[in-house]
Amino acid sequence: MKTKLFILILASFFLIPSLSFGADNVGAVVALKGSAVIQREAKAMEAKLKDSIQLVDVVETKDQTRTKMLFIDDSVLTMGERSKVSIREFVYSKDREGKAVFNLIDGKMRAVVGRTGFEVHTRTLVAAARGTVIDFETGILDGKYFTTVTCLEGEVDIRSIDPTITGKIVLSRGMTVTVVAGQSLPAPKPALSTTATAVIAAEAASPAKIPLNAAPPLSQQPVQGSTPLGIQIRFP
């Protein structure tokens, strides 16, 4: 299954529009439905197809918006509506091991993780992985920050962002966990059947185009010119 999945991931890159990464660029917008904003050096720019993504940029999606970004290590991030992510750290070289760190501030995001060490930080946890497919959702529930992580392929290491909460858990394929601020790490639990998990993971890498009017709705927890997306954004 893993071999088949990453063949699909590789195939999808050949269908992405030709991109040129400059010296300061770590990625680019490769699909966009709706309205998104790139914040850079205190300036807010309306995101457009093929726009570059640079270190420390903050990308924010609006209502009924989905966007996909391809990074130079072949990682792909797909953001749901009303979501915000910042590129905190990005070190990559073909000759040595790299590292990519993202801050998911609000909302929902799917990550197809590339060749570098990969971390996502939220207000409640740090998720670390390599060569996996992961869903994230973060926001406020019952007055407390929470983050739900679901592993669709591979394994993901989870630890609390709170240094006073020790230990870590490992999410394997088809498992999910919700970490709430100030609480110890709970045990992972099954998210979906094995078959459903495999289908969603394959969809994350599939190059097939999906009509915009057929895209499934994305729900969102309350928190403080269209281009078809190349993957289906469906969160459990």
> What pLDDT, on a 0 to 100 scale, did the predictor assign at position 104?
98
pLDDT digits (tens, 9 = 90+) for 88-120: 998 876 666 788 999 999 999 999 998 788 999
Following CA atoms 31, 35, 39, 42 in sequence, which dihedral angle do they give, to the nearest 10 degrees?
Answer: 160
Number of domains in the chain: 1
CATH code for the domain in which residue 194 is found: 2.60.120.1440
Residue 190 identity = P
> What pLDDT, on a 0 to 100 scale, did the predictor assign at position 98?
82
The pTM of this model reads: 0.75
- Answer yes or no: is pLDDT of 27 > 60: yes
C-alpha closest to that of 176 among 139, 204, 221, 134: 134
* Count helices and strands in the chain by DSSP H and E runs: 2, 17
Q: Is residue 103 part of a domain?
A: yes
- The domain containing residue 187 runs over which residues? 2-214
CA dist., res. 63 & res. 202, Å (int):
26
State the average pLDDT over residues 117-131.
94
Count of alpha carbons within 13 angstroms of residue 140, beta-carbon side: 6
